[in-house]
Amino acid sequence: MNMKTKQLVYASFFLALGIIVPQIFHFTGLPGTVFLPMHIPVLLCGFILGPKYGLVVGALTPLLNSLLTGMPPVYPVATSMMFELATYGLVAGLLYQLLKQSSIVSLIGSMLLGRVIGGIANAIFYTASGTGFVLSTFITASFVTCFWGIVIQLVIIPIIVKSVNQYFEKSPRLVMEK
């Protein structure tokens, strides 16, 4: 299997995880707004496959979740999340490559910039839909409500990225685009 095919297979895997993991949370009654189960596969995709795949998987994950499961609603929630998660995947991959694989700094940078882009998208789409946008509500939802999701991401993503890198150092290089 050539490298491009491998990358597409792994990107599909991360996209599938981005659909399956939130469903597990919904079935078990764990709130997605607290634990952010859609974010982890997108961030991992950016780190492991690079910015291009991270961007695409980030944009498609909320849209496909919405179309396949009805959660989140397509507009304005999934539409805003498409921008946020695409930014996570893109920036995680870019920073990881630029910072010579410093996963924690890359992760924090992508989480912050993704939330800024998500906030701008929320302001635009919620205002356009007539629901209105309240900055304090956005800040609470983006940093307070999801505190445990952020902690989980900061703990497990660097560990997974390090493990994946160690695995693929022992076998032919997997996927990171150059």
User: What's the token pair of residue 162?
Assistant: 């390090």
Tens digit of each residue's pLDDT (9 = 90 or more) over 82-101: 999 999 999 999 999 999 87
Minimum mean pLDDT among 3-7, 54-58, 108-112, 151-155: which range? 3-7
- Number of separate domains in the chain: 1
Residue 175 counted as domain residue: no
Averaged over 42-54, what is the pLDDT?
Answer: 97
Residue 116 counted as domain residue: yes
Indicate if the alpha-carbon torsion angle 58, 22, 3, 88 is positive or negative. Answer: positive
At residue 169 the predicted structure's pLDDT band, cuts being 50, 70 and 90, is confident
153 pLDDT higher than 80: yes
Residue 165 pLDDT: 87
Q: What's the CA gap between 45 and 90, in Å, rounded?
A: 9
Cα 46 off chain centre by: 8
**What range defines the domain where residue 20 resides?**
3-170
Averaged over 35-51, what is the pLDDT?
Answer: 97
At residue 167 the predicted structure's pLDDT band, cuts being 50, 70 and 90, is confident
Q: What's the CA gap between 1 and 36, in Å, rounded?
A: 33
Residue 21 counted as domain residue: yes
Residue 77 pLDDT: 94
Q: How far is CA 94 from CA 53, 88, 90, 170, 177, in A?
A: 11, 10, 6, 24, 10
Residue 177 counted as domain residue: no
Average pLDDT of the chain is 93
At residue 109 the predicted structure's pLDDT band, cuts being 50, 70 and 90, is very high
Backbone angles phi, psi at 113, to 5 degrees: -65, -40
H-helix or E-strand containing 171? none
Q: What's the CA gap between 81 and 130, in Å, rounded?
A: 18
CATH number of the domain encompassing residue 124? 1.10.1760.20
Q: What's the CA gap between 92 and 87, in Å, rounded?
A: 8
Q: 């496959």: which residue's tokens?
A: 49
Higher per-residue pLDDT: 147 or 171: 147
CA atoms within 13 A on the CB side of 133: 18
Residue 178 counted as domain residue: no
Residue 63 counted as domain residue: yes
